Amino acid sequence: MRRLGNYNIQNRIGEGGMGVVYRALDLRDGSEVALKLLHPQFREDESRRARFLREGEYAQSISHGGVVRILDLGEVHLDTADRTLFLCMELVKGRDLLQVISRETPQQRWVAEVGLAVAEALLAIEQAGIVHRDIKPGNILVTSEGVVKLMDFGLAYRLGEAPSASGPAVEDEATQPASGLTLFGSVVGTPGYAAPEQLRGEQVDARSDLYALGATLYQMLTGALPFSGTNPREILRATETAAARSGLGTAQTTAASSVVVAKLFAAVPGVSVRFAQLVGALMSAPMEQRPSSAVHVSAFLEAMLLDDPELDSRLEAPDGKRLGAGTSAWMRLKDWLDRKES
């Protein structure tokens, strides 16, 4: 067992683009914690050090049960002359959502419950003025008791501040990794989940995180993503040209969400109509066609969980309704919510 400052490191439990995570024992109170250490190759890289510290500071500023708590952050010296930055986090005992859905076929109701938990956490992030920029199943933990927690603020930034990484979304296609990996530098985020404006390197806000939530819900329901490719350019092209290829409509604001809905019904015909509409609305290509805040998504999911019997349908059911392309998905949802409230 290796000691590092106030912690005894026990075993390695994960690794990300910025650091390695270990299970550790806090010697001050005997509690088990997760200790994230900056990768050795970045220890003297001032930009990476600043980004690592921002990750801890942003997460610390959010007080919500659906966000992994940061207990401590700072710098310690190793046995050698080297130094390293660390984040001490609550140890969440469970699996990430990607592990869950890769081994099991979840029920629609459970998917909606997880979606509601994530939306509520995103609302807390939104209220703190922060954009996560890397919402995906691999960054969502589910405990054995069913508690859902968001983690990894390594790409987050506070609105009004200069992003930690920005620029044009796509450079040399040959140098870009597959869509499941988080990218740094020219592309910020994970292309399979990142909103079109994020892939283009444009300004993002809370609606960009909602797009990623939509992609996550789609993957939970179907086991795949609606738009894929070997690099960000291909994914962006697929997203932007889906309407023209599908023939579902000519208006981007209408067809973009309709394409997602059509793909969802084709993959899982038994999906709830309202659930499909929500996923389509979240994944609308233009930002202004998505819900404006996670508060609306939370309200819709709460209502759906209370009175949508289709959530208990098996996803492989042979028959299912299909949506037309006449009205944007989010406008249909808003109309439905307004009727419920009146």
Domain count for the chain, please give it.
2
The active-site residue out of 134, 152, 209, 308 is: 134
Secondary element (H or E) of residue 328? none
Q: Is 72 a residue of the active site?
A: no
Q: Which of 90, 122, 151 is the last residue of a domain?
A: 90
* Tokens at 94, concatenated: 């469970």
Please tell me which of 46-55, 183-192, 207-216 the model is most confident about, judged by mean pLDDT: 207-216
Mean pLDDT to the nearest integer, 280-295: 94
**In the predicted structure, residue 218 carries a pLDDT above the cut 90:** yes
**In the predicted structure, residue 184 carries a pLDDT above the cut 90:** no
Structure confidence at residue 245 as a pLDDT band (50, 70, 90): low
Arithmetic mean of pLDDT over the chain:
82
Q: Is 315 in the same domain as 211? A: yes
**CB neighbours of residue 6 within 10 Å:** 18
**In the predicted structure, residue 176 carries a pLDDT above the cut 60:** no
**In the predicted structure, residue 65 carries a pLDDT above the cut 80:** yes
Q: Is 192 in the same domain as 317? A: yes
- So what's the pLDDT on residue 77? 76
Rounded percentage of the chain residues whose pLDDT exceeds 90: 58
Q: Which residues, in sequence order, are CB contacts of 211 under 8 Å at separation 6+?
A: 193, 194, 195, 196, 198, 282, 283, 284, 290
**Whole-Å CA distances, 75 to 59, 62, 107, 185, 230:** 17, 22, 44, 25, 38
Q: Which of 90, 109, 125 is the last residue of a domain?
A: 90
Domain span at 221: 94-341
**CB neighbours of residue 41 within 10 Å:** 8
Q: Is 191 in the same domain as 249? A: yes
Q: Is 105 in the same domain as 76? A: no
Q: Which of 53, 72, 90 is the last residue of a domain?
A: 90
- So what's the pLDDT on residue 162? 63
Tell me the per-residue pLDDT of 249-278, one tens digit each, with 9 for 90 and over: 433 334 457 889 999 999 998 999 999 999
Distance between start and end Cα atoms, the chain? 62
Nearest to 114 by CA among 209, 212, 217: 217
CATH number at residue 138: 1.10.510.10
**In the predicted structure, residue 80 carries a pLDDT above the cut 90:** no
DSSP for 115-181 reads: HHHHHHHHHHHHHTTEE----SGGGEEEETT--EEE---TT-EETTSPPSS-S-S---GGG---TTS
Q: Which residues, in sequence order, are CB contacts of 99 under 8 Å at separation 6+?
A: none
- So what's the pLDDT on residue 83? 81
Under a CB-based contact definition with an 8 Å cutoff, are residues 233 and 173 in contact?
Answer: yes
Say how far apart CA 24 and CA 140 lie, in whole Å: 21
Mean pLDDT to the nearest integer, 138-167: 83
Structure confidence at residue 41 as a pLDDT band (50, 70, 90): confident
In this structure, what DSSP letter does residue 327 have?
A: S
- So what's the pLDDT on residue 173? 31
CATH number at residue 78: 3.30.200.20
